[in-house]
Amino acid sequence: MRLHVADHPLVAHKLTVLRDERTASPTFRLLVDELVTLLAYEATREVRTEPTVIQTPVTQTTGIKLADPRPLVVPILRAGLGMLEGMTRLLPTAEVGFLGMQRDEETLEAITYANRLPDDLAGRQCFLLDPMLATGATLVAAIDFLFARGARDVTAVCLLAAPEGLKVLEDAVGDRGDVKVVVASVDERLNENAYIVPGLGDAGDRLYGVV
Ligand code: URA
């Protein structure tokens, strides 16, 4: 597993406002959107391309275009949905699949309650969106889901990660595939309720309210 922490003053500034408990949902949603676009720039550094010949007003030249098959972006519902627009803004031709996952608050294990994904993901670059990499259980389950359909190239885009979750992910992935994690910050630790510290609270609730 490879980890990339987006080290940029704009990322740090936006993240600080996100963390602030006084930031209400409308601003929170806007900031998540902006932050994800900045993270998407880093997350797509290795997006597959192929040469293409074009004619400029002056001459013919060879540039690049995104290769087929198109990348697949997969927000993990519910909170990952708040990251979708920010990601597809930079990857407008990507296909979008969905994974509905919830953590069992007692066992902290991930339960998959919905999925809408292509059956065959062999050779497909996949971008998973999940704001909080806490215990790692959800992301491991999501990556296993994609691996079971043949994917081997997965980039997880997260706002925050806990060191504990990163370790779980690293151990679970091993050398089964190429997994990259792009985050705005690796925080200190998890608390006794498996919340990230200092964190930003419950990302889903802060995006969409307590429903
Ligand atoms: N999920 C959240 O939304 N926040 C955390 O801190 C941990 C998991």
Pocket of ligand 1 (CB under 6 A): 132, 134, 195-196, 199, 202-204
155 is in an annotated binding site: no
Q: For the chain, which domains are there?
A: 2-47+68-208 (3.40.50.2020)
Provide the whole-model pTM.
0.95
Inter-residue contact 183 to 165 (CB < 8 Å): no
Confidence of residue 102 (pLDDT cuts 50, 70, 90): confident
What pLDDT does residue 111 have? Answer: 87
Cβ burial of 79 (10 Å; 0-12, 13-18, 19+) is buried
Structure tokens at 89: 């803004």
What pLDDT does residue 140 have? Answer: 96
135 is in an annotated binding site: yes
Supply the residue whose CA is at minimum distance from atom 4 of ligand 1. 202
CA of 59 to the centre of ligand 1 (A): 53
What would the pLDDT profile of 142-170 be if each residue is shown by its tens digit? Answer: 999 999 999 999 999 999 999 999 999 99
User: What are residue 125's phi and psi, to 5 degrees?
Assistant: -85, 125
What would the pLDDT profile of 166-194 be if each residue is shown by its tens digit? Answer: 999 999 999 888 999 999 999 999 999 99
